[in-house]
Amino acid sequence: MGPIRFAAAAAALVLLGAGTPIRAQGTAAQKPASDADFHLTVLGHFDAESLATFTRNVQEYANRRAKLEAGLPPLQVTPNADEIERFERRLAERIRRGRSSHRNQVFTPTLAQEIKQLLQAHADPSTVALILDDGPVEFDVDVNDSYSKQRSLATMPPSILLLLPDLPSEMQYRFAGRHLLLLDARSNMIVDEIPFALPCDGCPLKRSDDEH
């Protein structure tokens, strides 16, 4: 089988009910909390069961966040950063109640390993260097922590996003050094992580003074 046919055969299309496709990095309009059906297109090869579990986990999180947000005063469009941060803190506090802080609540161990393997195969040295240079200093990640406003927030390269499962609205992938984060942009909270997901043997990591 030639390279093109092989790549096409490796593309995974997982169909879960009927609904509107959700684009990577949460660009589609948010679906109502009661409507969890959607279909998901992913380039790459993932175990069907672990991908289905991830899809269910991330949608359940998004649905729960939407229900908890409904009990808060709505955030008005505003340039006031303090108002936005207050809203994010209040929403994050609600989400943390009853939620464990351990990893793999959304990523399954199998899917995490498959993502590492995909990045090892497809993240070339120039892309890795760009991610490390554009992103924040690598730090110890704690699930359920807020993402510090003092840290940079790098843009994910499109070539990397194409490898990863799509996400519901306002959920994002971000790198913190070599760690892959699942970030809830609505609450500014780290929902899950894959430690050392990015292949980086011997590459120079950014120092703390490089961010200033």
Q: What is the dihedral of CA 124, 130, 132, 136, to 10 degrees?
A: -150
For 178, the domain range is: 3-211
Whether pLDDT at 24 is above 90: no
pLDDT (0 to 100) of residue 115: 95
52-66, 79-93, 133-147, 192-206: range with highest mean pLDDT: 52-66
pTM: 0.75
How many domains does the chain divide into?
Answer: 1
pLDDT (0 to 100) of residue 25: 61
Whether pLDDT at 109 is above 90: yes
Cβ neighbours of residue 169 under 8 Å, at least 6 residues apart?
22, 26, 27, 28, 29, 30, 31, 62
Whether pLDDT at 83 is above 80: yes
Whether pLDDT at 56 is above 90: yes
Closest CA to 52 of 17, 98, 95, 100: 17
Q: What average pLDDT does the structure give for the chain?
A: 79
Given a contact cutoff of 8 angstroms between Cβ atoms, the answer to whether 29 and 49 are in contact is: no
| CATH number for 172 | 3.10.450.160
Phi, psi of 40 (to 5 degrees): -135, 125
Closest CA to 145 of 89, 98, 87: 89
Residue 56 parent element (H or E): helix 48-69
pLDDT (0 to 100) of residue 85: 92
Question: Which segment of 29-38, 70-79, 190-199 scores lowest on mean pLDDT?
Answer: 29-38
Whether pLDDT at 179 is above 80: yes
